Amino acid sequence: MPQIAMTGRSNVGKSTLLNALCRSKIARTSAAPGKTRLANIYRLTVEGGGPGKWSLYLVDLPGYGYARGGADSAEELRAVAEAYFLGPSTLLGADPEQRRRGGTRDSGLGTRNSGARGPNEGSEPRTPSPEPRHALLLVDSRHPGLNADVQAANWLSAMGVDFHVVATKIDKLTRTERARNMKALELTLGKPPLPVSAADGEGLDALWKTIASLARTARA
């Protein structure tokens, strides 16, 4: 079945949006950032957006940019997201303790490709997973152009991940702010963002259409 990952900064609203899409509280949320610690995988069966019923996996990845526990904890959370997209090859070159923990010491969000080096010059080249990966890059519509979001977009592109930008919390902006911020996001991330609000449901139907389109691509 197709897999679509939800990635983005800590506290951008990934788990909250997932609950809104499913109209059920299946993902745990918290006002404090860094609640999601693992790659949480949800199997969904959907009616509409295709011929009859169809199924997919939505993957709620840990957020980047913040982690309770400091730098070591943040490193491990980044390794979770990296391992999901790159597969077992992320463990190449790791010492036994790092393999047990599930990641290498240099696993950070940044521009990567099969021959790219990480922040440490001695890091091993990474090879994308042979399975197709698709993603929704969630960004806070109130804060366009954050460097962490730009790095995440570059990171996904370098790995060949087909992704769409989703601008969350659009209900917090005025009409003028929306127009300005959506234009700024498109300029900085290179893709037109889809504005959504988990609070009032705005944009969720359009997002489901995007998910269905990604799922059809993955099944092809």
Q: How far apart are CA 45 and CA 57, in angstroms?
A: 9
Report yes or no: 174 and 158 within 8 Å, Cβ to Cβ. Answer: no
pLDDT at 141: 97
Identify the pLDDT of residue 172.
96
Map residue 31 onto helix, strand or coil: coil
CB 135 within 8 A of CB 163: yes
Give the model's pLDDT for residue 50.
Answer: 60
Three-state SS at 93? coil
Task: Tell me which residue of 181, 174, 149, 117 sits closest to 9, measured CA to CA.
Answer: 149
In the chain, what are the domains? 3-219 (3.40.50.300)
- What number of residues does the chain have? 220
| C-alpha pair distances (Å), 220 with each of 132, 209, 213, 214 | 10, 17, 11, 10
Question: What's residue 1's pLDDT?
Answer: 84
* Residue position matching structure tokens 């080096």: 117
> First CA to last CA across the chain, in angstroms?
11
| Residue 14 confidence (pLDDT) | 87
Percentages helix, strand, coil for the chain, rounded to the nearest 5? Answer: 35, 20, 45
pLDDT at position 215: 86
Q: Give the angle 203-207-213 at the CA atoms, nearest 5°.
A: 150
Q: What is the pTM of this model?
A: 0.75
* Structure confidence at residue 216 (pLDDT): 82
Q: How far is CA 140 from CA 40, 143, 166, 167, 181, in A?
A: 21, 6, 8, 6, 10
From first to last of its 220 residues, the chain has per-residue pLDDT tens of 889 999 888 888 888 899 999 888 887 665 444 455 678 889 999 887 665 788 999 998 887 764 444 455 556 666 777 788 877 544 333 444 443 444 333 333 433 333 333 323 333 445 545 565 799 999 999 999 898 899 889 888 888 888 999 999 999 999 999 999 999 999 999 999 999 999 999 999 999 999 998 888 776 6
- Three-state DSSP string of 102-165: CCCCCCCCCCCCCCCCCCCCCCCCCCCCCCCCEEEEEEECCCCCCHHHHHHHHHHHHCCCEEEE
The amino acid at 55: S
